[in-house]
A and B are shown apart, each in its own frame.
Chain A
Amino acid sequence: MRWIWIDRFVEFESGKRAKAVKNLSAAEDHYAQHFPGYPVMPATLILEGLAQTGGILAGEANAFREKVVLGKINKARFSREFLAGETLEYEVELVHMRPEGATVVGKVLVEGEVAAEAEIFFAHLDQSRSKQAFGESNFVFTGEMKHLLDQARRAGATNHGTVV
Chain B
Amino acid sequence: MASHEDVLRKVSSTLVEALNIDEDEIKPASTLAGDLGAESIDFLDIVFRLEREFGIKIPREELFPEVAQTSDIELLRDGKYTAKGLAELKKSLPFANFDDFEKNPEAALFGNLFTVDMIARFVQDKLVRSGKA
In the complex, what residues of B have CB within 8 A of residue A131's CB?
A: 69
Distance between Cα atoms of A128 and B60 in the complex (Å): 10
Please report which residues of chain B, range 44-69, place their CB below 8 angstroms from some CB of chain A when the two chains form the complex: 44-45, 47-48, 51-52, 60, 69
Binding site secondary structure of chain B: helix
B44-A96 in contact (CB<8A): no
Q: How far is the CA of A100 from the CA of B48 in the complex (A)?
A: 10
Q: Judge whether A95 and B44 touch: CB under 8 Å.
A: no
Whether A77 sits at the interface, judged by CB under 8 Å, is no
Residues of A within 8 A of B40 (CB): 128-129
Q: For A147, what are the chain B residues with a Cβ–Cβ distance below 8 Å?
A: none
Q: Decide yes or no: A121 and B44 within 8 Å by CB, A74-B18, A96-B52 being known contacts.
A: yes
Q: Tell me whether B44 and A74 are in contact (CB under 8 A).
A: no
**A76 smallest CB distance to B (angstroms):** 11
- Tell me whether B23 is interfacial, beta carbon within 8 Å: no
A155 at the interface (CB under 8 A from B): no
Interface size on A, residues (CB 8 A): 15
Complex contact A121–B60 (CB within 8 A): no
Residue of B nearest to A96 (CB): B48
Please report the total number of B residues contacting A with Cβ < 8 Å.
Answer: 14
User: Chain A contacts of B42 at CB under 8 A?
Assistant: 72
Interface residues of A in 63-121 (CB under 8 A from B): 71-72, 74, 95-96, 98-101, 103, 121
Q: Which of chain B's residues has its CB closest to A71's CB?
A: B41
- Once the chains bind, are A72 and B60 in contact (CB under 8 Å)? no
- B52 near A100 with CB under 8 A, answer no
Looking across the interface, which residue of chain A has its beta carbon closest to that of B58?
A98
What residues of chain A lie closer than 8 Å to B45, measured between beta carbons? Answer: 71-72, 74, 103, 121
Q: Are A121 and B48 in contact (CB under 8 A)?
A: yes
Q: Cα distance A100–B18 when bound, in Å?
A: 17
Within A26-82, the residues touching B (CB, 8 Å) are: 71-72, 74
CA distance A128 to B51 in the complex (A): 17
The answer to whether B104 has its CB under 8 Å from any CB of chain A is no
6 contacts across the A-B interface (CB closer than 8 A): A74-B17, A96-B48, A98-B47, A101-B48, A121-B45, A128-B41
